[in-house]
Chain A
Amino acid sequence: MTEQSQAYQKLAQDHIPKPNYLKNTVNAFWVGGLICVVGQVFNNWFIAQGIAKSTAGAYTAITMIFIGALLTGLGVYDEIGKVGGAGSAIPITGFANTIVAAAMDFKAEGYVLGMAAQMYKIAGPVITYGITSAILAGLVQWLIWR
């Protein structure tokens, strides 16, 4: 590398924006926390309707998935994501978001090999690793505690 290009590299390096760690983390915290509070509201409401605790948890998850999918379709979830980052990606609403967003993006490539195949771009790995580790972990837990 010539002296000149080295100097340029250094100059360019200095201008790469660094993520604002504190701001990003604080934003993720309150956006994610708020999504959990909404989930807690639904959870308490289902339990108040006389639904068993474990079933109420599943209903809450389904309700939040519905909301996440709908807001993604409306283009609102992307706006939340710009502020929330991981705060909106990690909750279950963010999981629903990855499915709808990918499905919409690949609509143009067809309804079978485009949309239906590509909608699992991120959800697929999550489900694959989730199921594999669940079978292994559940098996270990059972062998220890049965």
Chain B
Amino acid sequence: MDYLIAFVVGGMIVAIGQVIFDTTKLTMGHIMVIYVVTGSMLTALGIYDRIIQFAGAGASLPVSNFGYVLTKGVYEVLLAEGWAGVFNGVFQLAGGPIAAAIFFGFIFALIFRPKA
């Protein structure tokens, strides 16, 4: 059942992006930025947590989840450390995936050549 929910919710989240892409002049880069910022705001409102609880990977695979983990990290460290920790939490949860993206991104680009 969780696979079906992930499929439907994840599919819907990206389909909204496709509609924005087709009906506006925004590029995919713009849309990804919009998703991350939206994910961040929905996290602060306590909504993204609930979407993830319901949809699992359907909500944690789209880039909006970057906004979620970045914001959740900031919030959790603020709770633990107070004001002084305002910049310490950003990479608390998002650090691993960002490090992986940079590392694998660089290594695979070294190894492979673009198709002509």
Q: Which residues of B contact A123 (CB under 8 A)?
A: 101, 105
* Per-residue interface assignment for chain A, residues 53 to 97, with 1 indicating a CB less than 8 Å from any chain B CB and 0 otherwise: 010011011101110011011110010000001110111111110
Interface members, chain B 21-71 (any A CB < 8 Å): 21-23, 28-29, 31-33, 35-37, 40-41, 43-46, 56-58, 60-63, 65-67, 69-71
- Is there contact, CB below 8 Å, between B40 and A142? no
- Is there contact, CB below 8 Å, between A133 and B11? no
- Is there contact, CB below 8 Å, between B101 and A129? no
Complex Cα–Cα for A11 and B78 (A): 60
Complex Cα–Cα for A95 and B28 (A): 10
- Is there contact, CB below 8 Å, between B43 and A28? no
Shortest B18–chain A CB gap in Å is 4
Highest count of chain A CB atoms <10 Å: which of B11, B102, B107: B11
Q: Which of A27, A61, A103 contacts B109 (CB 8 A)?
A: A103
Shortest B113–chain A CB gap in Å is 7
- Is there contact, CB below 8 Å, between B41 and A39? no
Shortest A104–chain B CB gap in Å is 4
Highest count of chain A CB atoms <10 Å: which of B45, B70, B107: B70
Highest count of chain B CB atoms <10 Å: which of A73, A93, A139, A146: A73
Q: Which residues of B contact A105 (CB under 8 A)?
A: 114
* Per-residue interface assignment for chain B, residues 75 to 116, with 1 indicating a CB less than 8 Å from any chain A CB and 0 otherwise: 100110000001101100110111011101111111111110
Beyond known contacts A19-B22, A87-B15: 19 more, CB 8 A cutoff: A24-B21, A25-B15, A32-B11, A35-B61, A40-B3, A40-B6, A73-B109, A85-B18, A89-B17, A89-B28, A89-B31, A90-B32, A92-B63, A94-B28, A107-B114, A126-B33, A134-B90, A135-B86, A142-B78
